[in-house]
Structure 1
């Protein structure tokens, strides 16, 4: 599993070994629950090519190796980061911080939300399944009714309390 932050600032090379740029952001399709490509911050000043589709990526490791680069404009993660997540009762669940991505097919499995700095330190972050969320223009609607709550806890609390 990947998180969005695992991709940021990675160098991108073509199959000839030429540096194309670095990862600036990821393009996603929230409705189909998948990452569709990578937004490239190119070192060329006037280049309009800024997109690598996921099917053109050969390898993702310390660097990213790709077959080529194209032009594209779509939904970037940065546009929805820090978007408010509310439930069906209109109560705020938190804000979007990160996305959990399956390493095999780049599908989005869940979103990570938190409800503030103090709450994050005490309770950790919550993980919501993407299937239970609907992306709107102003907020993300969480329709989940599950009694199971997934959390990510700060590492020092896990060690300190043996959680």
Structure 2
């Protein structure tokens, strides 16, 4: 699994080896649960071509090799980053911080939610599966069960014990 922050500022080259730019943001399809492409911080000024489709990418390693640039529009990750996540009872779960993406087929598996800096240190981050989330205009609705949760816990936090909710 990889996260969206693993893509930011990766250099993008075309097939001839010329540097196109760097990754500025990622385009996602929340409903189909997949990565659509990348927004490119283009080296050519005033260029409307600032998008690389995921199908046009040859290789993603330390750098990205792609065929060509296009004009792109759609939902960017920055549009949903820091969006509130609420459960079905109206309780605030936190804010969207990152996405977990499958490295093999670039499908989005989960969202990482944090409820603040102090809670991130003490309790870790919560991970919600994407098929249990509904994207709205003002917030993300989490429809999953309360007694089943995934967490990303900071290293060396041994004093904190997790209590199973019944």
Give the TM-score normalised by the residue count of structure 2.
0.93
| Cross-structure match for 2:163 | none
SS in 2 for 1:155: coil
Q: CA deviation at 1:107?
A: 0.4
1:122-133 map, 5 Å:
122-133=122-133
| Cross-structure match for 1:40 | 40
| Cross-structure match for 2:8 | 8
Distance, in Å, in 1 between the alignment partners of 2:70 and 2:105 is 21
Q: After the TM superposition, which segments of 4 or more aligned residues of structure 1 sit over 4 Å from their partners? A: none
Q: CA deviation at 1:156?
A: 3.9
Distance, in Å, in 2 between the alignment partners of 1:156 and 1:149 is 20
| Cross-structure match for 2:110 | 110
Distance, in Å, in 2 between the alignment partners of 1:156 and 1:114 is 19
| Cross-structure match for 1:73 | 73
Distance, in Å, in 2 between the alignment partners of 1:56 and 1:13 is 12
Name which of structure 1's ranges 74-83 and 139-148 shifts more when overlaid on structure 2: 139-148
Which runs of 5 or more structure 1 residues have no equivalent in the other structure? none
| Cross-structure match for 1:155 | 155
1:17-56 map, 5 Å:
17-56=17-56
| Cross-structure match for 1:141 | 141
SS in 2 for 1:157: coil
Which runs of 5 or more structure 2 residues have no equivalent in the other structure? 161-166
| Cross-structure match for 1:85 | 85
Q: CA deviation at 1:91?
A: 0.4
Number of residue pairs matched by the alignment: 160
Name which of structure 1's ranges 145-154 and 35-44 shifts more when overlaid on structure 2: 145-154
SS in 1 for 2:75: coil
RMSD, aligned CA = 1.3
Distance, in Å, in 1 between the alignment partners of 2:77 and 2:150 is 22
| Cross-structure match for 2:63 | 63
